Amino acid sequence: MAEPVIRRDAAVVDDTAHLHSLGYAQELFRSMGGFQNFAISFTIISILAGCLTSYTIGYNQGGPVAITWGWLIVGLFCTFVALAMGEIASTYPTAGGLYFWASKLGSPAWGWFTGWFNLIGQIAVTAAIGFGCAIFMTSLLNLLWSYPNSYGWIYFTYGMIILGSGLINMLKVPLTAALNAFSAWWHMVGVVLIVFILAIVPDHHRSFGYVFGQTVNNTGLGGTATHGFIYLYVFLTGLLLAQYTITGYDASAHMSEETRSASVGAAWGMVMSVVVSVVFGFILLVSVTFVIPAKGPSDTSAFIVQHIWQDSMSNRWAEFLIFIAVVAQCFCTIASTTSASRMMFAFSRDRAVPGHRLWRRVSKADRIPIFTVWAICVLAFLTPLPALWWGYVGYAASTAVAVIGLYIAFVLPIILRLRAGESFERGAWHLGRHYKWIDWLAIVWIFFICIVFLLPAFQGGIPFKSNFDWLLFNYTPLPVFGAFLLFGGWYVLSARKWFKGPIRQGSEEELAEIERGYEAPAR
């Protein structure tokens, strides 16, 4: 029994030495194994969250074709993105992740923009996940006890979910790591249960032709056109379902300072979280689409999946399936809060965030960045405020901002790695000679989807048209371009004078002294 422990301790020594070479002390508690690193990214992707809460986007903007084939297309390209990022994560396994990579491969300016878009994306995706969870939770409570499901009550429920996420993130790192591992199994077993129940309980199932060939256009674009160029455009906007779901896997990089054998574990965690999610997510989406009633969903709003289940089975079965999803979505919110707090901690450690002296603090006993956890919770709570006035459109805008913010942060270091070519210092996990075509596919795909999700998705959302409706307007360009102006102006006028990218915390002796100031948390 002693031999594995020795190997694990040796891995920690090597990881700490690698971290020292990058300029940082081992302040966070390194206790996660490879599966736990995979588990946090898999939990944040959360097919039981993204697939179900954004199902209405895919259904209204393309129908079953966008849901099934769209998922496979997005899943393939996201795998290329994960492979490209995994190679860089192996070389630079730090909590800063993307912005650290961009700073090292480019310059402080590259790191500045990457870091801020990553942080915005992290906050937006945490908000979108938590708010989607609140939608599902209120629908479950409404079925059980007639709990009101107005957006005001949904927002109140969302606040309770975010508060709970913050409190759970106060637990010791080994406990949250165990929770993430349990969450991964909950997701996989939960999908199997849902698929099994949907296969045998409903007395009606759609044909394969419907699931893989039916087109729907509820956007008003081109009337109800379900073929031709207009439908292709609608189909592309419907890819937001899949692209929003398959986000957040950079968490494996942000948790690398808490992962053993991080130069391999973080890379594999990133890639495998995407691959496993694509497989299980496809099975889940197909099973839900098979039980759409013959007359179509009775409600195509935010509660579409709940209504599909209620219309095809008894309320008791629907309640059970919603319960499985709600628990998974709570796990997802917790994990996203963890990842975002580590990213903000690392960015603050390099003095990029206002108030960095507070945000970079780590509790001495538990080695948790407590202040950044609560900062993320507060910012995430405020993000979906537009939903109080604009309903589901406000939530959908949060998902698009999350996708674009995160994927802008994803693509910048990939561009820099491609530019570095053979001079790039490869880590223990790398792509060999295949990096060129993989990086190019990842880059082209990210630019493509960022453009698509900035475009109007509904006829009534096109400005200057006679039927323009603010409730159908795509608000995504406003925060995205606003962020470019804000952070660009901030950098030109001020930050370029003082932000120098990653800062070494000291010499080997000074790093060791920092580490002696922390106690190992109780296991």
Q: DSSP labels for 380-409? A: HHHTTTTHHHHTHHHHHHHHHHHHHHHHHH
User: Which ranges constitute the DSSP H helices of 313-352?
Assistant: 315-349
In the chain, the N- to C-terminal Cα span, in Å, equals: 18
Question: According to the model, what pLDDT value does residue 519 have?
Answer: 54
Q: At what angle do helices 2-21 and 508-516 cross, to 10 degrees?
A: 130
Say if residues 441 and 80 touch (Cβ distance below 8 Å). Answer: yes
Query: What is d(CA 333, CA 343) in angstroms, rounded to the nearest whole number?
Result: 15
Say if residues 25 and 514 touch (Cβ distance below 8 Å). Answer: yes
- How many angstroms separate the Cα of 40 from the Cα of each of 61, 158, 258, 324, 398? 30, 21, 12, 18, 21
Tell me the CATH number for domain 38-500.
Answer: 1.20.1740.10
Count of other CB atoms within 10 angstroms of residue 451: 11
Query: What is d(CA 200, CA 284) in angstroms, rounded to the nearest whole number?
Result: 15
Helix (H, G, I), strand (E, B) or coil at 213: helix
Give the helix/strand (H/E) hosting 217: strand 216-217
Query: What is d(CA 443, CA 441) in angstroms, rounded to the nearest whole number?
Result: 6
Half-sphere exposure of 443 (CA within 13 A, CB side): 14
Model pTM score: 0.91
> Where do the DSSP E strands lie in 218-298?
none
Question: According to the model, what pLDDT value does residue 129 have?
Answer: 92
Amino acid residing at 242: A
Say if residues 290 and 258 touch (Cβ distance below 8 Å). Answer: no
Say if residues 135 and 146 touch (Cβ distance below 8 Å). Answer: no
Question: According to the model, what pLDDT value does residue 470 have?
Answer: 82
Say if residues 241 and 69 touch (Cβ distance below 8 Å). Answer: no
The residues of the chain scoring below 70 in pLDDT are: 1-8, 519-523
Q: Largest Cα–Cα distance of the chain, in whole Å?
A: 75
Question: According to the model, what pLDDT value does residue 4 have?
Answer: 37
Q: DSSP labels for 407-452? A: HHHHHHHHHHHHHHGGGS---SS--GGGHHHHHHHHHHHHHHHHHH
Structural Rg of the chain based on CA atoms: 22
Give the helix/strand (H/E) hosting 61: strand 61-62
> Where do the DSSP E strands lie in 227-341?
none
Count of other CB atoms within 10 angstroms of residue 418: 18
Q: Which of 313, 331, 381, 297 is nearest to 143 (CA)?
A: 313
- 299-344 confidence digits (pLDDT tens): 777 789 999 999 999 999 999 999 999 999 999 999 999 989 988 9
Token look-up 């901030």 returns 490
Query: What is d(CA 138, CA 153) in angstroms, rounded to the nearest whole number?
Result: 8
- How many angstroms separate the Cα of 425 from the Cα of each of 88, 373, 428? 9, 33, 10
430 Cβ contact list (under 8 Å, min separation 6): 87, 90
30: left (phi > 0), else alpha (psi -120 to 50), else beta? Answer: beta
Q: Which of 123, 87, 64, 36 is nearest to 401 (CA)?
A: 123
